[in-house]
A and B are shown apart, each in its own frame.
Chain A
Amino acid sequence: MARELTIDATRLHRALQGGDGLPGVFEQALGFRVSTKAIKGVHLMNDLAQCVLGGAPEHRGDLLCRVIREAHTREPNSDRDLRQDDALGVHYRRAYPEQLGRQQVTQLREAARLLLNADSGMYKPGDNMASSLATHRDLLGWEGFRRFRVGRYVQRVLGHAGRERVREMFESADDPVSRAMKPLMVTTPLIERYPDEPAPPLTAFDDALGRRLTILLSHPLTKPNLLRGLSLAGNLGVVLKILGAGRPGGHPVLLALPDHTWVGVRKPAREEAVQSFQLGIDAADRAFARHLARHPLGDSLWAPPADDDTPTITVTTCEDERDNDALMKAARAFEFSKKDGTKDLYWPDEFAIALGKRAGCVGPRRDQAGWSKHLMLTPELVELLVLMFVPPGARPLPWRALWETVRDELGIVIGANSHADDEALKGAGVLHIDLGQLARSSDVFLAQAICRGVARRLPDSGAEAGGELL
């Protein structure tokens, strides 16, 4: 017998999203918070570095923020202001001796702006928005986005070897960016403002992701490029983590499409890719519903609303009055039905989509009616996956074997092993898979990898990737 129950929306939002020191269901399940759509790679990397090192320098990154904001004439960032500044003047005068001349100092400050703030992670000093593209501990700054703990998640999955590698990178100043920014480095004690908190145990997916990110960091590339790779692959990992939250072992099953423009034809396998993405969201919602039952607020959710002014959600349940799946669906419908533009609840998939679009792993990039979301891999992400799965100096890996391992460990399917991939997608509930389209999509990945110089075709129609080819 179906019944309609009225639920306190505020209480439900608090249970899902957390508040007043109580972690929400999303955070409990994922190990990080998702209540933003503004976070980007540079924030994740700033957080990760501070988690590994034990905080950010006491100076908060204020000098860097002011150096790069010379063009903001309403702020006291002119050369004269900074030379006379009580706290920062001593560092500024040392870095930019007066004999350099105004023009040269301006050029040097512009260069610092380009290198440290290419991703717009820095704002005014003192605003907790000092995420520079730091390659060294002394270039880190205080950052409010750390409260979402996404960098902490990556730090946890990295494992000891990966964390030590990150530490070593941020303590070395031999890379091109650190060497160019050396005069702006001010060494002060580190302050950890977001200490570690209890987190859910790592899943098999987390272990695999951490192992692969560690291999990525072992390649003999220059540090800025390794950090870029870690950022993009870390973002991809976070997206996969969210979309695999409801799957066994935390492994998603997602059909990825290449970042490719198809002229005159529909994107092959798009429907299947969209289905797999949506099924990942649905499975995650069911997992969150299970967490909801165990949440400290879980019982109180079913109590009547506190007063008449409280916003409410109507839930239709079956026999079982405490149908948490129905509660999740009702919460989504409630958010969707709001016409006033307010946003009370941020869903993990919205977080994943926003983050993924910036990292090139969720498409389409532009929101357009009827264009549903799917996992996408840019050629750069394909290269990063090759670097993650073929250690430096190893023999190239057969193309199909590479993607079989990627599928098994990270849950990304591209159709390189069409029959096995088909089985995996069917197992995750994806229907009506066209093997021909899957193969066409997969061929584009291979062509892009060959063009990028990370794969080559072999006799007998095979291919191999990574290793000595790089």
Chain B
Amino acid sequence: MPNICLKLANKAENVLLVRQALSGLAEVILLDPVELNDLNTAVTEACNNVVLHAYDGAEGPLEVEIHACPPALRVVVRDYGGGIKPRVQNAENAPGGIGLPVIRALAHRAEFVDLDPGPGTEVRMEFSTAAPPTLEEPATELLFEFPPAGSHEPAETMVLAIAPSSLARSVLPRVLSGLAARAHFSTDRIAEAQLLADTLITRTDGSLGASHLSVDVGVAPRVLGLRLGPLHAGSAGELLGEDGDGRDLCGMLDRLADAYEVAPAGSSEVLALQLAARR
């Protein structure tokens, strides 16, 4: 099961978010900078292929899965379009055409697989690393399906699922900084959003109803909407309740978030919050 799943739109600016996730990962598993550079370059090429070629100029999903248990790192970049057939021949004349040779050169192993049933393509890459195996593989894959966002349908959304929480604490704040920058947050406000995310990951860790923490982020001009889950039914209320340490979390949310609520989601619940850019 992957440690990190990202579901994004195949937009050029989203590739930055994938790299932020990889940097966060590198920090946790102590990847050396040369290894990270290889990983970054190859994964960027695979993502750029999806951005440029998978949907023939239309928009579609870009999915990235990262299995992060050294000595092997595996990354899958997936699309559901008809494009990105390997175009190695004649590529010297095609802009972007050196992506696949680059992937082949930098990854220890690389496969280009047509999805069955299609349409779609997976680029499966494996990287060897000298980093010590510090992460355990998550037991189950549970990509949580968030219910529709409701009244404020944001301009754009992305979903992340991360396990374990030590990894989430490094990856989510980085990805958030990329999204907050896009939503025109000031640097101070970005730091606050990161602090809040870190606290929420820590505090909800014991209440997660799945191996992965799933986070759905909606980006609108000057606003980020965050939903975290799935939490055991009733646990979010407990976290925010008056008793025990919960009061602290409430105080922090009052100060740093612009709105928050516990929302039911199937048999579990999610914590939803809004962060405005402020000044």
A-B complex is real: no
